[in-house]
């Protein structure tokens, strides 16, 4: 059941610790899940020292002496973890999954207030960093980011892509409307074609404050018919122009990809992040990611949500069966990708409440379908940080990282479902320091 706005605000403000300059905090942690992929993934009875928003030491509590000036956070009966990273959601304040009600509302700027409540719901689960992947006017996501970064509102770090970019009448189109109306309102993306026009759009996005670029290299969603999902958007020359312009300025590019063909089209033309991926197992998918160096954001949750909404979406029995197979196939692909050294990051594709605030369901879905629990935790922390360009700053509990940390009442290693219960996230620490995304590594 979705809590009221007032209850949500009280929950978030009651557990968030906004670390200030020169503040010194010592956390006594009964257990630490460091987020690492190997070596020291789990530590016990630790002192984690935070100075000036940065972790300055992680050491055994038994040999530690508390400085007189330090504040003590007693998590001796709890688990300490890195703040979670939501690498793919939509901070747009959408009202419902209906293009008419969502994009033709009388007071469109009300989305900013709804979007702020949505990011609070996500933070309430322990997500201290959120990536917004477009849909709607990017000024709404930018306003929420400014409220958090500039005005001192509680909230996660917010990074957004500006306008998502679609080819003419591509995936950003709303087929229930006339295309002239879609071009005017741009409910899911703006539209551009040709290398020079696309370079201009990338420059516009970055010049107006986008943190990365998001494109659609193919059409359709998880439940799209084959005559839609087989379509490739943009030519190779166009994607290369987008990537070159973004990389030239030091920014990353993510692409919506729903099939193996979409993913190959994106990754082989230089895109850094493949979003979603094929529903069913494709033997060549992991090899392609490994060979191109692209990272992958699986968004398993959206398969589950489609099954929950099967009646309202009017899904056929064959589509339901495909999605059910897809949950297991997606987990199998994640395991193989990790074994191959592919960077698999965390993202849900969630939008408005009540989906916003149920982002940690992604952890449970991965684990319940065979992804080892510590790997699931790494996907939501250090690997997500690597995927988005924040690994030097976030994603692990270790010296030198920013002190974005969460205290969990329970042990996610033994029971991953505790992360899906916001009341079990008892403390959220967030460093005051702002950091930009690192440029993509040369491939």
Quickly list DSSP for 63-128: G----TTPEEEEEEEEEEEEPEEEEEE--S---SS-HHHHHS-S-TTHHHHHHHHHHHHHHTTTEE
For the stretch 118-149, pLDDT in tens is 999 999 999 999 999 988 888 989 999 999 88
> In the prediction, which pLDDT does 214 show?
98
For the stretch 341-394, pLDDT in tens is 999 999 999 887 778 889 999 999 999 999 999 999 999 999 999 999 999 999
CATH 2.30.40.10 fits 5-82+397-430, yes or no: yes
Cα separation of 170 and 216, whole Å? Answer: 8
Radius of gyration over every alpha carbon of the chain, rounded to an integer in angstroms: 21
> In the prediction, which pLDDT does 96 show?
62
For the stretch 51-77, pLDDT in tens is 999 999 999 999 998 888 899 999 999
Give the angle 67-73-74 at the CA atoms, nearest 5°: 110
The yes-or-no verdict on residue 26 having pLDDT over 90 is yes
Instruction: Look at residue 386 and give its three-state secondary structure.
Output: helix
Cα separation of 99 and 90, whole Å? Answer: 15
Q: Contact at 8 Å (CB) between 172 and 188?
A: yes
For the stretch 76-119, pLDDT in tens is 999 999 999 999 999 886 666 666 677 777 777 888 888 898 99
Question: Where are the chain's structural domains?
Answer: 5-82+397-430, 84-388
* Residue 371: φ, ψ to 5°: -85, 125
Q: Which residues pair with residue 358 across a beta bridge?
A: none
Ordered DSSP codes for 323-344 = HHHHHHHHHHHHHHHHHTT--B
Burial (CB count <10 Å: 0-12, 13-18, 19+), residue 227: exposed
**What is the average pLDDT across 245-263?**
96
> In the prediction, which pLDDT does 351 show?
80
> In the prediction, which pLDDT does 95 show?
65
Could you tell me the CATH superfamily of domain 84-388? Metal-dependent hydrolases (3.20.20.140)
**What is the average pLDDT across 23-31?**
96
**What is the average pLDDT across 269-279?**
96
pLDDT confidence bin for 164, thresholds 50/70/90: very high
**What is the average pLDDT across 284-312?**
95
- Structure-derived torsion over alpha carbons of residues 258, 259, 262, 268, reported in degrees to the nearest 10: 120
Average pLDDT in the chain: 92
């Amino acid at each position: 059941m979705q809590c009221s706005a007032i209850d949500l605000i009280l929950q978030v403000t009651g557990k968030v610790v906004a670390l200030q300059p020169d503040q010194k905090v010592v956390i006594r942690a009964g257990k630490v899940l460091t987020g690492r992929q190997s070596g020291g993934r789990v530590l016990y009875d630790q002192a984690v020292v935070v100075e000036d928003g940065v972790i300055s030491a992680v050491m055994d509590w038994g040999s530690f002496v508390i400085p007189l000036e330090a504040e003590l956070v007693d998590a001796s009966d709890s688990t300490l973890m890195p703040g979670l990273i939501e690498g793919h959601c939509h901070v747009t304040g959408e009202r419902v999954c209906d293009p008419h009600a969502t994009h033709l509302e009388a007071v469109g700027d009300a989305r900013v207030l709804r979007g702020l409540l949505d990011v609070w719901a996500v933070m309430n689960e322990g997500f201290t960093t959120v990536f917004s992947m477009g849909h709607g006017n990017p000024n709404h996501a930018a306003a929420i980011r400014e409220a958090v970064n500039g005005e001192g509102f509680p909230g996660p770090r917010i990074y957004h892509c500006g306008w998502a970019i679609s080819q003419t009448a591509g995936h950003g189109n709303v087929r229930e409307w006339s295309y002239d109306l879609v071009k005017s309102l741009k409910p899911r993306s703006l539209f551009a074609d040709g290398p020079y026009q696309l370079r201009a759009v990338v420059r516009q996005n970055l010049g107006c404050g986008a943190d990365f670029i998001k494109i659609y290299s193919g059409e359709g969603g998880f439940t799209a018919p084959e005559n839609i999902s087989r379509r490739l958007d943009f030519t190779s020359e166009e994607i290369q122009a987008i990537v070159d312009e973004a990389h030239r300025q030091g920014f990353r590019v993510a692409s919506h990809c729903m099939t193996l063909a979409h993913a190959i089209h994106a990754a082989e033309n230089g895109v850094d992040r493949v979003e979603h991926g094929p529903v069913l197992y494709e033997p060549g998918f992991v090899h392609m990611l490994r060979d191109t160096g692209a990272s992958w954001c699986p968004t398993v949750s959206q398969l589950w949500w489609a099954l929950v909404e099967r009646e309202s979406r009017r899904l056929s029995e064959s589509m339901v069966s495909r999605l059910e197979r897809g949950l297991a196939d997606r987990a199998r692909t994640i395991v193989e990708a990790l074994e191959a050294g592919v960077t698999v990051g965390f993202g849900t594709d969630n939008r408005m409440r009540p989906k916003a605030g149920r982002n940690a369901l992604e952890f449970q879905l991965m684990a319940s379908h065979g992804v080892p629990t510590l790997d699931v935790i790494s996907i939501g922390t250090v690997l997500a940080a690597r995927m988005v360009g924040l690994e030097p700053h976030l994603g692990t509990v270790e010296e030198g990282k920013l002190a974005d940390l969460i205290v969990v009442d329970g042990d996610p290693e033994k029971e991953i479902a505790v992360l899906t219960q916001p009341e079990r996230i008892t403390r959220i620490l967030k460093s005051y320091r702002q950091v930009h995304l690192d440029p993509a590594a040369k491939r």
